[in-house]
Amino acid sequence: MTALPDWMRPPRAEGWFAEDLDRLPEAPRHTELIDGALVFMMSPQRSWHGRLVTGLTNALTAHAPTGFEVEREMTIRLDSRNRPEPDLLVTTAPYDPDRTWYAPQDVRLVVEVVSPESAHRDRTVKLRKYAEAGVPHYWCIEDEDGAPVVHVYELDEPTRTYVPVGICRGSLQRPVPFEISLDLEKLTPPRRT
């Protein structure tokens, strides 16, 4: 059996805490903290995923009015034991070049692009955690034969749960968190046969 490197050992008996992520330079990129456990993205990222995140980042940045910022692959400190890293987020917090995480009250939209290894977390665990933290909008994007399909959720404040408000294919029109109109088919290159 291979021994764990020292950096992978929790610094205390209770496990990992949100602030510990900033002290793990040896950790792989995209390391998240879910319920006090480190989660690593170990499988290679598909080109479709990367192109979609880049296309969506550019499109949302083009639509974002003054006072909104679009960030990719930055963690959200939901509480002391949870710091997930969505593929993309929209925030009202001002740009800070030294920032390593966002507070949930500053996040208006979280976007997760589902990968085979993250499917359960994106569809259930993160859906629940972002809602409980009060993030008002959540998009979960699935690959449907190479085309992005966006499952759109809005927060029901009294219950702190998400309510599905639509499944978008081809195009996406949303009035919140700001006016958004996207041609989803232009976010990734067409598949060649």
> How much is the pLDDT for 42?
59
What residues form DSSP beta bridges with 179?
Answer: none
The reported pLDDT for the residue numbered 177 is 95
- What integer pLDDT is reported at residue 38 of this predicted model? 85
- Three-state DSSP class for residue 31: coil
Write out pLDDT tens, residues 33-58: 899 888 876 566 788 999 999 999 99
Instruction: Classify strands 32-34 and 37-39 as parallel, antiparallel or unpaired.
Output: antiparallel
CA distances to 121, 137, 160, 172, 186 from 74, rounded to whole Å, are: 17, 17, 23, 24, 24
Q: Looking at the chain, list the stretches that DSSP marks H as alpha helix, in order from N- to C-terminal side.
A: 47-63, 119-120, 126-132
Q: Which of 44, 103, 47 is nearest to 71 (CA)?
A: 103
The answer to whether the pTM exceeds 0.75 is yes
CA 31 to chain centre: 12
Domains and CATH numbers, the chain: 12-186 (3.90.1570.10)
193 residues of the chain, pLDDT tens digit each: 567 667 777 777 778 889 988 888 778 788 888 998 888 765 667 889 999 999 999 999 999 999 999 999 999 999 999 999 999 999 999 999 999 999 999 999 999 999 888 899 999 999 999 999 999 999 999 999 989 999 999 999 999 999 999 999 999 999 999 999 999 999 988 776 6
> Strands, DSSP E only, in 114-159?
137-144, 147-156
